[in-house]
Structure 1
Amino acid sequence: MKSIAKGIDVGPDPGGIEPSLDIFQNSSAKQAHSTSVNSSSERTSPSITAPTEVETGFISVYMDYVFPILFPFYRPYITRGGRSWLLSLAMKNHGFMSSIISISSLFLSFIPADISVGHEACASKTWDELQKQANAGLGSIQHDLERIRGRGVENSLLDSVHLLANMMQQLGFELAIMPSGNWQTHLDAAVGLFEKILEHHGKTGSTPQISAVLCNLRRPSWAPDALNTEQGAFRFFSSILLIADIISSTVFNRRAKLFTYHYELRHSGLRQQPSLDLEEITGCQTWVLLVISDISALSRWKTDQMISGELSRDELICRATSIEEILHKGLENLDRHGEKDQNSAYVRPLESLLNQSGSPCGQPYALSRGRVPLTRIWIHAARTYLLSVKLDGDTKVSVLQTSVEHAIHSFGMVTSSTWLRWLAWPLCVTGVNASKEQRPAIRKITDSMYNMKSFGTIRAAFDIIEKIWHSRDASEGFLDLSTCLGSLGYKALLI
């Protein structure tokens, strides 16, 4: 299967579309523009021809079965536009439709709808469709890149949002089908495009704001709270991008590239609807993921100080302790108010009826009551990561084992196997730091994730844990998380 990197690097310009995304840089020859966008005047991707019956079937499978399993926490209410933007974007953009069909085909090859007579022939046809649509999706990305190259991101907000959606879809597809180190190139490209979108369409002052982009995508004729196609796509895929950037920072032992935009997320608590809600993707409260970014930045600082020979243990302990206090207070608040706050949420009439009927379109209220353990798992995994950065010597072993034990206990409280897909990173952090006595409990968790093992990131997490256990058995030493995540011969992005 051709990688996304190879696909987007091929083009008439020898410079290609490298991760630097120099095609998105300003040019003095570009015409002046306003940061606000007139949606009616911007040329967007032409609407595709009516889908065939087979394509319609794949889109239906994606909307009804695949997407709810891949993103079980993403259920925007009807007054926010629901998930209709997915279908609308597929109708507007050929590349997005191809990505939907590719992912549906891949999903059905991993988890067949039926195993009756004729399944093998159906699986073969599905795989052929996967290859066809994956190549079509790559071609569409190339085409969209070339068009934006000519017009500039400053004049192509809608097209840029469509391209970001396609890039993130293709990244997710490749992570699922064949784990490798190629994701870094693709993620860097998406990060570069996101930053250009914010630079040209997110200015409200000295610092670009995600909320300003959403405002520029707004259509006056729409209800204030309802998201149109481009708003829904930008909000959803930007959330995934920020999550991927945070997790990749733990892989490369550095500060997250999009750290600048975390400020807006940290201070959005008073707003009725935050610009981005990472919990809609992972099931984990946003603040925990932002703390993980802080820990990776601390780990980078520690490494730099060690290289220069200027590491102060007191300073390290002080910095780590301030982060640990945030985790501790957050966990206390979760234990004190988590279930109570969610159980007291207002339930709207249609929402109540959907929940009573057992409809897959039921809303977050029905889900949230059992979702608190997910945030606990991420908190304990984050604390384990922090302790591995903060501590050395014999104290490290005993304290880590206690933190691991808390995470294991929280894993046992997860009530849905589909939720486990978004726990690859916490599982890996927990597993690589587990003692020999804790390994059976870790294997029990991995057994519960067996149905998801076909997906690349879950499989990679399992393989990393086993490899690190073998390494520790041989040397009895602990490895830092970045080393663990690179132990398979490539850097693993566990999202």
Structure 2
Amino acid sequence: MAASTPIVQIKARHRGSPTNTFNSLTDLPLRSTVTVSMPPYERSTHGCWSCRVRKKKCDEHFPACSNCTSRGITCHGYGPKPQWMDGGQREREVVRALRDEVKESLKQRKALWSAAKPPFSIPTPPSTTSPPYGSSTNAPPDLNYIYPQPAVELSPTSQNSGYRDSVPPDLVTSFLSGECTITDPRARRTDHESTLLMNYLDQVFPLQFRFYVPSVIELGRGWLLALLTRTKPLYHAALAMSAFYIKSALAKNEKDRSRCIQGHEEAMKTHHAIAFQHLQLQIAFLNSNQLEGTIKDRLEILACIIQLISFEVLVVNEIAADFLIGTILWYDIIATASTRSTAFLQNNVNYADNIELEKIMGCETWVMILIAQISALENWKRDMQKAGRLSVVELSSRGSEIAKLLNNGRSKTPAISKCPAQYSPLITQTFASSALTYLHVVVSGAYPELTEIKASVSMTLTALSNLPVPSLLQNLVWPFCVTGCMASRDHEPLLNDLVVAASEDAKCPGNYWKALEIIRECWRLREELTTDDGKGVDWVTSMERLGIQVLLV
């Protein structure tokens, strides 16, 4: 295929520099060469209408500000000025209603706290020395209070490399033999750690889980703070992420803040090393013949490994468990759809019962289940091809059933809106139309000029263009990557606008930049390779050529 015409023209604008024009996606700079402004704590002067009418400061968190959600009141969003804000009777009625909601929310909280015991009991720290495991108590050591000294001194050299090495056997033996000193971890927290912890809760966690808004009944994010302070590897992983975020945000003023950046760099490496050491210890304990772990023990370790936010699964708490299972389910489905790998949770539907993914990731659960079914269909197709028993009729029939469910679900999802309070329908529509593209690739092949693929790509691009905040595209990496890889020349202008807007408004690092690299490679391959062998080029083909496997989240 000749590469006579550019596929897409990307215009990247940088503050203080002229506009750069790229003739094709293959010319697009990757993250290492694109200058992105990432202010850590800056906010505009435009808060939500609820905070404005109440004359309160607004943190401008999307889809609804934390000030409103934490108080259980209606957040009227950030769109055009509401009609009720006329300075007259209607505005006074809204103000009165908001005051009533605040009072009712406070009343409900007091009732909850007085009627129910605290969700997390604070255990009394054990004695200074833990009894050897296997003693008469026949109970495993209390991991909540384990804080062994680092196995490797965190010198600059060891911080830069090698701190992921295995924990020395004598450290594990000392714990299992009862020689490991145990103290209350909360007593060791420094002022700097407290700062990093609050930054994680206030800044990093909302960026990781942008669509998670806890209700009043769930008592906000208090459960998260309790779990973070009770589980050492996850606690330090959160601090490392917090330090990394601050370091990245300060990078734009590196000349003036070099010492501050260096301090957070060291903090990030230190907490990262400690997190790995504690994780290695827990794995060693679990794998030892003296300790049999339950599924909850393994879920805790899994949460550490995939670098999720901190959870303490040993504490029985339904809210935390649902959040953790929902997050793992989400990552499992996206990982399978991203790389054609085998699903970790084979029966996704069983795990999805009573899990509302829209409250965590913004997309309704039914769409993710159908994406999992598409991945299962793709695996079935591959197995049948290897066995020489693939029935195109059966493949088409199975695909039609999934397409019918996707279209029915899309028709029942509310119309796309830019109102922050209605992000879930917009995100759901985006994933549903991207799932259709994925399905068409599985059934018909990765050919952008196919009518059905063109239609689903157009639907996704329309949904993405309705994002009220361009940087939200970075939270929709899988739909963006699938759509970008399967876009045709007809979609060039709209895709160009999306990339430019999202790149300018970027606030945090993430796999959005990897998705751009994958899209670029996909289009380059499509220009170079012929389709005489009957194979198309998609995002997985691109990853294989790049020698990477990326979780598109």
- The residue number in structure 1 matching 2:375 is 296
1:475 to 521, 529, 533: 529
1:33-432 matches, cutoff 5 A: 47-112=185-250, 115=253, 118-150=256-288, 152-154=291-293, 157=296, 160=298, 162-169=300-307, 218=316, 228=317, 231-265=318-352, 268=353, 274=354, 276-335=355-414, 367-392=420-445, 397-432=450-485
Distance of 2:507 and 2:522 partners within structure 1: 19
CA distance in 2, matches of 1:114, 1:53: 26
On the 8 A contact 1:73/1:283 being kept in 2, the answer is yes
Q: Which residue of the partner structure matches residue 486 of structure 1?
A: 544
Q: Percent identity, aligned pairs only?
A: 25
* 2:328 counterpart SS class: helix
Q: TM-score, normalised by structure 2?
A: 0.62
Residues 309 and 99 of structure 1, relative CA distance in 2, 3 Å threshold: same
Residues 307-351 of structure 1 show CA distances to partners (whole Å, capped at 9, x for unaligned) of 222211111100100010110100011147x87xxx9xxxxxxxx
Q: Give, in angstroms, the shift of residue 242 of structure 1.
A: 1.4
Instruction: Check 1:289–1:7 CA distance in 2 against 1; reply closer, same or farther (3 A cut).
Output: farther
Does the Cα contact within 8 Å between 1:47 and 1:93 map onto a contact in 2?
Answer: no
Contact 2:446 2:537 (8 Å CA) reproduced: no
Contact 1:317-1:390 within 8 A present in 2 as well: yes
Deviation at 1:94, TM superposition (A): 2.3
Matched, 1:458 2:512: yes
Partner of 1:10: 166
Quick one: distance in 1 between partners of 2:524 and 2:165?
Answer: 38
Structure 2 unaligned residues grouped into runs of 5+? 1-156, 173-181
Q: Partners of 2:448 and 2:492 in 1: how far apart?
A: 20
What is the letter of the counterpart of residue 167 of structure 1?
I
Q: Letter of the aligned partner of 2:343 in structure 1? A: A
Q: Deviations over 1:417-455 (max 9, x none)?
A: 453232111100000000123133223222222244862
8 Å CA contact 1:45–1:93 kept in 2: the answer is no
Q: For the structure 1 residues 232 and 467, does the alpha-carbon distance in structure 2 shift closer, same or farther, using more than 3 Å as the test?
A: same
Shift of 1:68: 1.3
Paired with 1:401 and 1:45, the residues of 2 have a C-alpha distance of 61
Deviation at 1:476, TM superposition (A): 5.5
**1: CA distance between counterparts of 2:331 and 2:162?**
21
The separation in 2 between residues aligned to 1:165 and 1:381, in whole angstroms, is 27
Cα deviation, residue 167, structure 1: 2.5
Distance 2:549 2:298 in 1: 28
Distance 1:376 1:423 in 2: 12
Contact 1:141 1:166 survives alignment (8 Å): yes
Q: Which amino acid aligns with 1:382?
A: A
Instruction: Write the letter of the residue equivalent to 2:213.
Output: R
Which has the larger Rg? 2
Q: How many angstroms apart in 2 are the aligned matches of 1:2 and 1:301?
A: 46
Asked if structure 1 preserves the Cα contact closer than 8 Å seen for 2:200 and 2:238, the reply is yes
2:494 to 441, 451, 458: 441
Query: Which amino acid in 1 is paired with 2:196?
Result: F
Contact 1:165 1:234 in 2 (8 A): no
Contact persistence 2:334–2:551 (CA under 8 A):
yes
The 1:47–1:412 alpha-carbon spacing in structure 2 relative to 1, beyond 3 Å, is same
> Aligned-residue CA RMSD in angstroms?
3.5
Structure 1 residues 46, 261: CA separation in 2 closer, same or farther (over 3 Å shift)? farther
